[in-house]
Chain A
């Protein structure tokens, strides 16, 4: 697994979410995480669902919008060193299938969490703020934007 050899694409991070079976794996892992939370006896169903939504949203924000660059050396001379994983996906092309998948999963989880928490106010506030945290960084208008210089370099 030489990290510096040539690949089919200069940066494998750009195409990893188009690999066969990865969407199913992602869904299975999210469902598994939810079942783990659901199985804890001190969480009610509402709390478990909201917690799933929160963990998913925070995890997604951390891995897709905070970490920059690639975990291996690429042969494109550091083109994506300051780009988050979301910006690297499909080399920056918007509205591809993988991006639509990642836009859909927070929405699906939000709908399920709202339903299972019976639309209570506290849960609503938490779920909606997590939804905004998941969706806003993915907007094409915010591609490459760093607010207040956070996470710039």
Chain B
């Protein structure tokens, strides 16, 4: 079959295959003070520049409302764009870099020239070639424009055409969808699976199908926007527990069960715990054995979002359940996306047959959204084939694991503070200061490496970081060169905080 053997009995929870460990070193105090002073100075200069722009001493490049709007309430508050004007615009060249090749291990970036402190840019016409890609979610290296998967997708276009032009409930239910769902269910070793055209919409459209008013959702602090939106749309009560903190989760569960619903103290209809397999901003892996222990003890349900962990964790890439040695039937709702490891688009939800039949009938995504395009389905099917049944797939998974290990140990040896679990394919290295964040990205680009940096307000104010995404397609040489470049920039910018 797929060549994977499951243990005959369900794995005992008392001795999980993997000991759970993660590391979130707190910010050094001197660095926190310096970061706050940085933001303070930038903010003061922002106020000064705003003052100059308002009174005409400096040209105002922002758009303005029409002049004859006296007496109307203003359309937008210009203060809401303070950050964009004064801080984001200065770092404009570090974000939204246009790529003009497949997002593989090496990419081509179109060079831009910024003017007037980041208000506008134009393309210089030059294309930076050979930039090593450390930012794409290309965990198993399937972002290729040639090879088995690409050939299969081209044949699928020739057979089915490009689009489906209908939703699953109408005329958009193709045989390739059924084949994909069946293969995915067998790969995950669950009863059934249903797929949707968009990964974000899989979460936001299907959580309302599972819970509603009178239910409780316990959602991790750092859950993705799609999960947060799904929770809000469902109308259920949402309680947030601290990231990966099982004691906090247990406390909140107990409080919820003891107190019941807010007014009237009636018992909750359902309690759903929503967690992710791998959190992409922190590089941490969810403590799944503990979550399942709590679920059994307090009779709650678990929704596991494996967007970043499917294909990337586990000996055969079956995700965080395989990583911990837990049978997937223990998780009630297993959700994942095809955007990261499979190099396609879309998402799936897998579980028992009754759950999947319910979603097929009731999900908004199934009724109203267009179903997945056939070449995308074929891409997933062929990459799934490669991952689960060929030597090439095994090689890629092992390469990803060894790349992760090598890169993470390398960064730690250099003296960087790295967050998260040692086995996660996402490696965030902390930079703290907003100025160094911009400098790091620009220096890396000038040395031929494309990285993703994030700062406040996407992260807490003292935890601006650079987030490396390891790929199986990156060679040892790529990673070693990257580490050398990072080391030299780290010496210049003084960001090796552990030393």
* Chain A residues at the B interface, C-beta cutoff of 8 Å: 1-3, 5-8, 12, 16, 19-22, 24-25, 28-29, 67-73, 75, 81, 153
Contact = CB atoms under 8 A, between A and B. Distances in A.
Contacts of B40: 25, 29
Contact of B33 (A3, A5, A7, A24): A24
Given A19-B32, A29-B37, A68-B79, A1 B457 contact: yes
A1 B458 contact: yes
Contact of A12 (B46, B460, B464): B460
B225 A1 contact: no
Interface residues of B, number: 40
Given A29-B40, A72-B80, A7 B32 contact: no
B29 to A, nearest CB: 5
Q: Which 6 A-B pairs have the closest CB atoms?
A: A21-B32, A71-B82, A6-B225, A72-B83, A1-B455, A25-B36
A1 B36 contact: no
A48 B91 CA distance: 39
B131 interface: no
B73 interface: yes
29 contacts: A1-B88, A1-B95, A1-B437, A1-B454, A1-B456, A1-B458, A1-B464, A2-B95, A2-B454, A3-B84, A5-B225, A8-B222, A8-B460, A12-B456, A12-B460, A12-B461, A19-B36, A20-B26, A21-B27, A21-B33, A21-B36, A22-B32, A25-B32, A25-B36, A25-B37, A69-B77, A71-B80, A73-B81, A75-B225
A17 to B, nearest CB: 10
B343 interface: no
Interface of B: 26-27, 29, 32-33, 36-37, 40, 43, 46, 73, 77, 79-84, 87-88, 91, 95, 221-222, 224-225, 228, 243, 434, 437, 454-462, 464
Contacts of B84: 3, 72
Contact of B77 (A5, A21, A25, A81): A81
Nearest to A73: B80
Give the one of B26, B40, B73, B77 with max A CB within 10 A.
B77
A1 B88 CA distance: 7
Given A1-B87, A1-B434, A20-B32, A67 B79 contact: yes
A6 B228 contact: yes
A20 B434 contact: no
Contact of B36 (A22, A70, A72, A75): A22
A6 B88 CA distance: 16
Contacts of A3: 83-84, 88, 457
A153 B72 CA distance: 12
B451 to A, nearest CB: 14
Contact of B27 (A12, A16, A20, A81): A20
Nearest to B84: A3
A71 B77 CA distance: 10
A1 B32 contact: no
Contacts of A8: 221-222, 243, 460
